[in-house]
Each structure stands twice: as structure tokens, then as C-alpha cells.
Chains A and B, each alone.
Chain A
Amino acid sequence: KQEVTQIPAALSVPEGENLVLNCSFTDSAIYNLQWFRQDPGKGLTSLLLIQSSQREQTSGRLNASLDKSSGRSTLYIAASQPGDSATYLCAVEGPTGGFKTIFGAGTRLFVKA
């Protein structure tokens, strides 16, 4: 059974700091890994999608890496801003569990001005 774990559960940093969010998964047989952002009371916004054959993806100040063999992904946020405050979730899609996407519980990020 695929399980996705995100560490830390919550993080508070001062504005301008670079930070790393971690995601691990138990079954390395995945098709892709996706990072999302969720603001309170809203839906999820897709940030980055990494296919299983890829090692990383970048979008603006965000960089996500994937090490499939070790079951790990990181989301790096450069020069954090108060507007980055949100919950960040990672999710994996794979054959385990019938091709459904499995989500982690998320990391709640607060960037202080």
C-alpha cells in the first residue's frame, strides 16, 4: 500500500529565507509526483508535476526534485514571501491502489513579514 509522508507538518520562517519541504513515499513504482498549494478554504492549485523519468522541475522560485529509488521528493522555495503562506501537499500516482493519486497530509507554511 502506498503511503505518502510530509515533513515537517508545519513551518514558520521569516520573509526572504530559502526553505525545503520534504515528501517521502513507500512504493517507488510511481508514474508521477505532483506538488500542490492550498489556501485556507480553497481548492488545490497545481505547482509542479514531475514524471517518473524526470529528476526535477522548476517554476519561478520553486524547484521540485524527485529521487524515485529512495522514495523522496523535495520542494525548494527560494526567497520566501508572505504570499507563499499556505499548505503544500505532495501526491503520487502509480499502480498501487488502482492507479489512484495518493496525497500526503501537507506542510503548513507561514512566512512572517
Chain B
Amino acid sequence: EADIYQTPRYLVIGTGKKITLECSQTMGHDKMYWYQQDPGMELHLIHYSYGVNSTEKGDLSSESTVSRIRTEHFPLTLESARPSHTSQYLCASSEQGAGTGELFFGEGSRLTVL
């Protein structure tokens, strides 16, 4: 069982609100990722980190931002939510080193912006 947790699991908010999706892992993994997935659609990488103070944008452009101040936390923030941000956001982590590891996912945060 993977030790990676996301909160909240479900969130419904109004347009213009600031939101932060939390992701924590207790496996000591250096690599962490955020994916965005619409229902029935493919996963798209929006942010990733290879360690503390390291963040990179993924393949899909996103208006969200991330931070990595501690190894175990990788929060995602939307400064001003819009209906187009409605989606499921999945956090994942893996060990450092090329090709070393299994990718572990959290349960996801389903965001609805009205």
C-alpha cells in the first residue's frame, strides 16, 4: 500500500477563489509529480520536482503553481480558480535515480469550480 495522501478528496468552490491541494508522502521519495486528468481522459503531467527547492513545469500548460520546501510535501496552488480548472488532480512520487522506481499515486483531488 502506497503512503501518499492527498487532501481534499473533493472540493467545490466559486470562481476567483484561491485553493491549495495538498500532497504528502511518507516514503522519503525525492521525485514528486502532479497530473491532471479529466473524466475518461488521459493523464497530463503539469508539474514535477526532483527534490527540495526543485520544481519544473510539465508537458501540459497549467495556471497552477507548486512548491517543494520539504521532501514529503508538494502542494499545488491555484491563485484564482476558474471553471476551466475543473478536473481531477493526481499526485505521485517515486525514488530518485533514473529508472529506479515504481510510481505511487494518491487517491486524487476532484476539483469543481462553479
A interface residues, Cβ below 8 angstroms from B: 30-32, 34, 36, 41-46, 49, 51-52, 89, 91, 93-95, 97, 99-101, 103-106
Contact = CB atoms under 8 A, between A and B. Distances in A.
A83 B6 CA distance: 25
Interface residues of B, number: 27
B108 A43 contact: yes
A43 B98 contact: no
A42 B99 contact: no
Contacts, number: 59
Contact of B103 (A101, A104, A105): A101
A41 B103 contact: no
A24 to B, nearest CB: 16
Contacts of B59: 97, 100
B43 A103 contact: yes
A94 B108 contact: no
B45 interface: yes
Contact of A41 (B6, B88, B92): B88
Contact of A43 (B39, B45, B58, B107): B107
Contacts of A46: 2, 102-105
16 contacts: A31-B100, A32-B101, A36-B105, A41-B39, A41-B88, A41-B108, A46-B102, A46-B104, A51-B99, A95-B98, A99-B99, A100-B45, A100-B58, A101-B94, A103-B43, A104-B42
Given A43-B90, A44-B90, A100-B45, A91 B103 contact: yes
A41 B48 CA distance: 22
B103 A43 contact: no
Contacts of B105: 36, 43-46
